């Protein structure tokens, strides 16, 4: 068997985490999973949850081109007493905040213009949407 020597290969660049509470401009893109409304959703492999698989890219500044990923559960999973998805409610609230940031709407604004600006034609409207976000870091089940 021939030996393959990787010692002369360049080392990959590694990055530390973006510090918590850093505000960055992000561009949002949904990675279609082929399920649900127009194929935009990704079906959970372990429950009835339907999710949006989203990739965010930092668009400028010292963290430009860095990527973050998040699943937004849109339906299924644990339900409220009214039969709504608990995680779905949280996801819709986050997506509303993204729309408000992207469209420069104050959360308390109930004017006709603000109400209309919180409406989208379809999930594809989120693709390429630019907004400001504050970075947070959560610990996993093991405290890591």
**What six digits make up the tokens of 45?**
């492999």
Is 0.75 topped by the overall pTM? yes
Residue pair 33/42 in contact by the 8 Å Cβ criterion: yes
**Torsion angle, alpha carbons of 79, 30, 136, 141, to 10:** 50
CA 2 to chain CA centroid, nearest Å = 45
**Quick one: pLDDT at residue 71?**
95
Q: Report the C-alpha gap between 97 and 133 in whole angstroms.
A: 9
Residues of the chain with pLDDT under 50: none
């Amino acid at each position: 068997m021939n030996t393959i020597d990787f010692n002369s290969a360049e080392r990959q660049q590694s990055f530390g985490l973006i510090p918590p509470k850093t505000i960055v401009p992000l561009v949002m893109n949904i990675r279609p999973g082929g399920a649900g409304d127009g194929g935009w959703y990704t079906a959970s492999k372990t429950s009835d949850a339907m999710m949006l698989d989203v990739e965010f890219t930092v668009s400028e500044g010292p963290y430009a081109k860095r990527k973050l990923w998040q699943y937004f559960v849109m339906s299924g999973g644990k339900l409220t007493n009214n039969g709504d998805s608990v995680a779905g409610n949280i996801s819709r609230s986050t997506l509303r905040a993204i729309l408000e940031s992207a469209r420069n709407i104050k959360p308390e604004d109930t004017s006709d213009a603000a109400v209309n600006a919180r409406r989208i034609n379809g999930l594809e409207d989120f693709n390429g949407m630019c907004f400001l976000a504050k970075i947070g870091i959560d610990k996993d089940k093991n405290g890591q």
